[in-house]
């Protein structure tokens, strides 16, 4: 009995800590369309209603799901999918898992440790053997098995962190796409000299910036932090981490003056309005930018390290679709029917076009010539998954706070690295 309580407590801690970590972009917009109190039920007319707990709050992604749900309802009038997107979705889902009120259908991040804990504790239905699993790009599917080697989700999209750039501003100022860190800084200097804000960076939401820069600038850095957690290493005085801290500092010297209070939403808005030359953002933000300004010409390239060979892009599987193992049989059947529908190439293509996210369903294309520098780089395999796939979520969350303090308090890089070590060791023990 004590062991079960400990397992449950560990799961809850991991999920709560994952709140600010989930890579896959978690917008704060809410769209609660569910009227089903128990997550799913059959109405008197034989229609099965199920709640779809969808964790990505970006407007474009929500609109994409709404569109395919509407199409689905025409083909399957006996199934009603009620999408529910709420603020603080990870905390909400954690509480619902703890209380036994698990949504029949939900999105989650299958490569993360918190997801694998849910699998171990029997909360998620096994989907191995379902025909739709075979429709997933094999490289990305290989990233998602649980510890038992089985599949518990349909990976639906990949994500990335990249530098989005304003094509018109680059052309007007005769700036080429940089492929090294030195070239990137030269581009920043050129924009600044022309009176253009080179970068918009949000310290308020610095977490994904921290992940993207660490993975770009420190090959093997995530694995080194795992060693710190085990007491086998430290990042203090590590040359690669010292360089990372100095580069992060330098980036912010070319950023917006209000970075301390800036958010991801503010960053996307400023970029959409043509107020800055570049932002460091995720694939999840592309759709929002296009919604805000459909006429904006922008592209993406990898955040460069000192050389092309040592540069890595933060990229992984985005929110995937899973079914509750605790759902009623009719709810499971309806959920799997909907997932099967989403896995059709033409449906996945429509979702990708509307959301701005790259689908990983075979037969889909991510057509935007201005993203080619980034996508070609990713296709070469110089990528690293999100930190929460390797490091416990509570550690990653605290590293966000450590990085915020470094930037807000203008700490020395040496102090920052000491604090990284201390943060990892303290939270690894909890």
Per-residue pLDDT of 284-340, as tens digits, reads 899 999 999 999 999 999 999 999 999 999 999 988 999 999 999 999 999 999 999
21 pLDDT more than 70: no
Looking at the structure, do residues 282 and 424 belong to the same domain, yes or no?
Answer: yes
* Full DSSP string of 334-396: HHHHHHHHHTSHHHHHHHHHHH-PPB-BTT-----GGGHHHHHHHHTT-EE--GGGTS-HHHH
Average pLDDT, the chain: 90
d(CA 124, CA 152): 7
Domain range for 324 is 2-157+318-360
d(CA 362, CA 84): 27
Looking at the structure, do residues 205 and 342 belong to the same domain, yes or no?
Answer: no
Residue 317: its H or E element: strand 313-317
Under the phi-then-psi rule, with left for phi > 0, alpha for psi from -120 to 50, and beta for the rest, what region is 43?
A: beta
315 neighbors 158 (Cβ within 8 angstroms): yes
Looking at the structure, do residues 264 and 409 belong to the same domain, yes or no?
Answer: yes
Is residue 47 situated within a structural domain?
Answer: yes
Closest alpha carbon to 144 in 132, 131, 133, 130: 133
Looking at the structure, do residues 274 and 192 belong to the same domain, yes or no?
Answer: yes
Q: Which residues pair with 107 in a beta bridge?
A: 321
d(CA 126, CA 390): 22
Per-residue pLDDT of 156-208, as tens digits, reads 999 999 999 999 999 999 999 999 999 999 999 999 999 999 999 999 999 99
d(CA 265, CA 58): 10
Looking at the structure, do residues 276 and 206 belong to the same domain, yes or no?
Answer: yes
Is residue 120 situated within a structural domain?
Answer: yes
Report residue 37: phi and psi, to 5°: -65, -30
Give the tokens for residue 251. Answer: 């980036």
Counted domains in the chain: 2
Is residue 218 situated within a structural domain?
Answer: yes
Looking at the structure, do residues 329 and 415 belong to the same domain, yes or no?
Answer: no
Looking at the structure, do residues 245 and 333 belong to the same domain, yes or no?
Answer: no
Is residue 370 situated within a structural domain?
Answer: no
Looking at the structure, do residues 116 and 130 belong to the same domain, yes or no?
Answer: yes
Looking at the structure, do residues 324 and 181 belong to the same domain, yes or no?
Answer: no
Looking at the structure, do residues 200 and 327 belong to the same domain, yes or no?
Answer: no
Looking at the structure, do residues 86 and 171 belong to the same domain, yes or no?
Answer: no
Is residue 378 situated within a structural domain?
Answer: no
Write the CATH number for 214.
3.40.190.10
Closest alpha carbon to 298 in 177, 181, 185: 177
262: which residues sit within 8 A by CB, 6+ positions away? 200, 201, 202, 203, 204, 205, 256
Is residue 369 situated within a structural domain?
Answer: no
Is residue 373 situated within a structural domain?
Answer: no
102 neighbors 327 (Cβ within 8 angstroms): yes
Looking at the structure, do residues 152 and 77 belong to the same domain, yes or no?
Answer: yes
Per-residue pLDDT of 114-152, as tens digits, reads 899 999 999 999 999 999 999 999 989 999 999 999 999
DSSP character at residue 224: H
| pLDDT in the model for residue 41 | 56
| pLDDT in the model for residue 429 | 78
- Which of the four pLDDT bands, split at 50, 70 and 90, describes residue 44? low
Is residue 273 situated within a structural domain?
Answer: yes
């Amino acid at each position: 009995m004590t062991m079960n309580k400990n397992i449950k407590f560990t799961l809850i801690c991991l999920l709560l800590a994952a709140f600010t970590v989930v890579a896959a972009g978690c917008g704060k917009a809410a769209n609660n369309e569910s009227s089903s109190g128990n997550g799913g039920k059959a109405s008197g007319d034989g229609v099965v209603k199920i709640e779809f707990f969808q964790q990505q709050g970006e407007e474009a992604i929500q609109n994409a799901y709404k569109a395919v749900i509407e199409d689905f309802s025409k083909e399957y009038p006996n199934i009603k999918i009620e999408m529910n997107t709420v603020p603080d979705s990870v905390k909400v889902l954690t509480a619902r898992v703890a209380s036994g009120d698990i949504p029949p259908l939900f999105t989650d991040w299958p490569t993360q440790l918190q997801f694998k804990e849910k699998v171990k504790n029997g909360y998620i239905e096994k989907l191995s053997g379902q025909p739709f699993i075979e429709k997933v790009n094999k490289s990305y599917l290989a990233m998602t098995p649980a510890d038992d080697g089985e599949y518990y989700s349909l990976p639906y999209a990949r994500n990335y962190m990249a530098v989005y750039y304003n094509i018109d501003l680059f052309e007007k100022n005769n700036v080429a796409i940089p492929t090294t860190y030195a070239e990137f800084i030269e581009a920043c200097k050129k924009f600044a000299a022309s009176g253009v804000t080179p970068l918009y960076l949000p310290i308020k939401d610095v977490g994904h910036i921290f992940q993207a820069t660490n993975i770009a600038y420190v090959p093997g850095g995530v694995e080194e932090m795992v060693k710190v957690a085990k007491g086998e290493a430290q990042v203090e005085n590590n040359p690669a981490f010292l360089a990372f801290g100095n580069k992060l500092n330098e980036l912010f010297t070319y950023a917006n003056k209000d970075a301390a209070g800036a958010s991801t939403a503010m960053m996307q808005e400023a970029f959409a309005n043509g107020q800055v030359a570049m932002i460091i953002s995720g694939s999840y933000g592309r759709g929002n930018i296009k919604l805000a300004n459909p006429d904006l010409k922008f592209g993406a390239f990898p955040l460069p390290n000192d050389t092309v060979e040592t540069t890595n892009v933060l990229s992984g599987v985005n929110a995937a679709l899973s079914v509750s193992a605790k759902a009623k049989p009719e709810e499971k059947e309806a959920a799997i029917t909907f997932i099967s529908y989403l896995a059709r190439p033409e449906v996945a293509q429509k979702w990708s076009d509307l959301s701005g996210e790259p689908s990983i369903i075979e037969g889909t294309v991510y057509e935007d010539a201005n993203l080619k520098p980034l996508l070609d780089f990713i296709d070469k395999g110089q990528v690293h998954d999100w930190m929460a796939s390797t490091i416990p979520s509570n550690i990653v969350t605290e590293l966000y706070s450590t990085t915020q303090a470094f930037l807000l308090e203008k700490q020395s890089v040496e102090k920052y690295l000491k604090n990284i070590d201390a943060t990892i060791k303290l939270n690894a023990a909890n």
